[in-house]
Amino acid sequence: MESSSNGLRKGTWTAEEDILLRKCIDKYGEGKWHQVPLRAGLNRCGKGCRLRWLNYLQPSIKRGNFSSDEVDLLLRLHKLLGNRWSLIAGRLPGRTANDVKNYWNTHFSCCKSKARKRESTCSANSPIQSSCYKASTSIL
């Protein structure tokens, strides 16, 4: 396990650390993240504890594949909101902004270069073609 210059642990979280963080959140609730490492007995920073909880340990987080309805909503929201992942995730119950962003970049990154080429050749008011999106969702 790596440690930073200030002696805090970095890198992969252990199962024991996850248990300590869960117990601390159960007892004291979310918030005051700078106090969590001390209360939980963790040698981590408050930001690391907050991110671990919000992105991985929170019970309401939905794991696994995105459903076709979620993918459809993601596509529509991205067209409307752009890369504002936290706003998009707020409309996909149980999904984190990090999860939504990673899903987008994994499944739709093929479209980035094609979209740039289209933007340079098409007029500014022309609708975005969704053939790449349709091809990507059909293999899910």
Q: Which is nearest to 106 in space by CA: 63, 140, 58? A: 140
The CATH number corresponding to 2-57 among 1.10.3110.10, 3.30.450.20, 1.20.950.20, 1.10.10.60 equals 1.10.10.60
Residues lower than pLDDT 50 in the chain: 118-131, 134-140
| Residue 121, pLDDT score | 42
| Residue 86, pLDDT score | 94
The three-state secondary structure class of 2 is strand
CATH 1.10.10.60 positions along the chain are 2-57
Cα atoms in the 13 Å half-sphere on the side-chain side of 110: 10
Cα atoms in the 13 Å half-sphere on the side-chain side of 68: 5
Amino acid letter, residue 140: L
58-67 pLDDT, tens digit each: 999 998 899 9
18-39 pLDDT, tens digit each: 999 999 999 999 989 999 999 9
| pTM score, whole prediction | 0.66
| Residue 115, pLDDT score | 52
Cα atoms in the 13 Å half-sphere on the side-chain side of 59: 6
Residue 22 structure tokens = 């869960």
**Which residue shows structure tokens 């987080």?**
61
CA 58/CA 25 separation, integer angstroms: 10
Residue 41 structure tokens = 């007995």
CATH assignment, 68-138 = 1.10.10
**Which residue shows structure tokens 């594949």?**
65
The three-state secondary structure class of 23 is helix
